[in-house]
Amino acid sequence: MVRLRGPEPSPGQPRFRRSVLRDLRARMRFALLGLVGIASLHIVAMMALEGFGLSDAAWLTFTSITTTGYGDLAAKSVAGRAATITLIYFSGIFLLSQAASAFFELRAIRRERMRRGEWRWAMKDHIVFVNMPAEEPGDYLRRLIDQLRRSHAGMGRCRAVVVSDSFPDGMPATLEDDPDIVQVRGRFDDPAALTAAGVDQARFVVVLAEREGERLSDAYTFDVVHRLRERGYAGRIIAECVDDRNRTRLSRAGASAVVRPLRGYPEMIVRAIVAPGSERIVEQMFSSEGDECLRFDVYVQGVLWAEVAAALIGADYGTPLGYADADGGLHINPPPSESARAQALFLLVDERQRVSRDAVQRLVDELKAKQ
């Protein structure tokens, strides 16, 4: 569970609500101080009028003021009973109810503020997501968080704060019960919202493009990155870039990684977080330029995968990623000691490598002949 700092006014919080919070806190303080005074007077009265010791007088006072009334001790004299009626029944119980009422109202307001993103979160080494996609933001965030937690890089407990106005009525149903995913309702250009999200203590900041096809999003992203570096943030910033021509500009502004917005594939952001640099490799595979994953329909039977991989790399035919068997099953990054039974090989090939199916088949046949 995240540690909270509060209750403090949050960015964008209505002035009247701040006034209500001040009034409730003042009411609770007044009631508690009054209770201390009333209880002290009653303890002294019981010691003076009833001859009780300090512990018995305190026990009678607190069981009476909480209306528990065990009956093991009671005031016997008229003066003692009058003191109990005046101090406890008329004053103490009333003040206790006032304190309890103010406390529960504060709790209710706090829960509502937390739900609506009007809270200052005190986290450390967390992730701050700035902006959310305009389309299905809750679904995208859920898939992104799931991918982060399933990665092999120790992100099992992924604590995150979302800075966005996409969830004015609270986090979506798929995330509202997750105590480690919370929000600060505000715009990307609001420094108070970034402060409320604990951005200065964050391990990563991810700046998402609201609309993946709108070039103007890059200007907003540039503004966030520049603001973060200007305020002295030293962590990693992962920024989405719609127009490739703005990549250099974002990097110069301070972005640690710049990726294309792929809403159907949040793993791109995950790669940039858990394995810096790998997002560029994955991005290349989504393009027909540069390195490209190709399928070669060749037959491989009874040859160790280590031998197949070494031969393909040695012949400069590309980097083998895996193979498909006769039943259509995919074997991705298979163990080197596995005996390959392939109907097709998948190779990562760049533009300079001129590889054909026949060349790959001949190479595999030569390996088989040597055995």
Average pLDDT over residues 333-344: 93
Q: What is the pLDDT of residues 258-304, one digit of tens each?
A: 998 988 888 889 888 888 888 887 777 766 667 888 899 999 998 99
Q: What is the pLDDT of residues 153-208, one digit of tens each?
A: 666 677 889 998 888 888 877 777 788 888 888 888 888 888 889 999 999 999 99
Residue 310 has pLDDT above 50, yes or no: yes
Distance from the first to the final alpha carbon of the chain: 59
In contact, 167 and 137? CB cutoff 8 Å? yes
CATH homologous superfamily of domain 127-285?
NAD(P)-binding Rossmann-like Domain (3.40.50.720)
The CATH label, of 3.30.1490, 3.30.70, 3.40.50, 1.10.150, for the domain at 292-370 is 3.30.70
Task: Name the residue with tokens 């402060």.
Answer: 195
Of 63 and 6, the one with more pLDDT:
63
Residue 346 has pLDDT above 80, yes or no: yes
Of 75 and 370, the one with more pLDDT:
75
In the DSSP assignment, the letter for residue 300 is: E
Q: Which residues of 143-175 are buried (b: 16+ CB within 10 A; e: fewer)?
A: bbbebbeebeeebeebbbbbbbbbbeeebeeeb
3-class state of residue 296 by DSSP: strand
The secondary structure element, H or E, covering residue 80 is helix 78-84
Residue 2 has pLDDT above 70, yes or no: no
Q: What is the pLDDT of residues 221-270, one digit of tens each?
A: 999 999 999 999 999 999 999 998 999 999 999 999 999 898 888 888 98
Q: Which of 86-95, 138-147, 308-317, 361-370 has the highest mean pLDDT?
A: 308-317
Closest CA to 276 of 204, 367, 191, 182: 204
- pLDDT at 40 (0 to 100): 93
Average pLDDT over residues 295-318: 93
Distance of alpha carbon 241 from alpha carbon 248, whole angstroms: 10
- pLDDT at 288 (0 to 100): 64
Closest CA to 344 of 328, 368, 367: 328
Q: What is the pLDDT of residues 73-131, one digit of tens each?
A: 888 899 988 988 888 888 888 888 888 888 888 777 777 776 666 777 778 889 999 99
pLDDT band at 359 (very low <50, low <70, confident <90, very high): very high
Sequence-distant (6+) residues with CB within 8 A of 227 are 189, 191, 194
Tokens of 308: 């197949």
Closest CA to 303 of 338, 335, 330: 338
- pLDDT at 172 (0 to 100): 79
Q: For the chain, which residues make up each domain, given as ranges? A: 15-114, 127-285, 292-370
Q: What would the CATH number be for the domain defined by 15-114? A: 1.10.287.70
Query: Rounded to the nearest 5°, which phi and psi values hold at 30?
Result: -60, -45
3-class state of residue 319 by DSSP: strand
| β-pairing verdict for 127-130 and 204-207 | parallel
pLDDT band at 21 (very low <50, low <70, confident <90, very high): confident
Strands of the chain (E only): list them.
127-130, 160-163, 181-184, 204-207, 236-240, 257-259, 292-296, 300-304, 319-324, 330-332, 339-342, 344-349
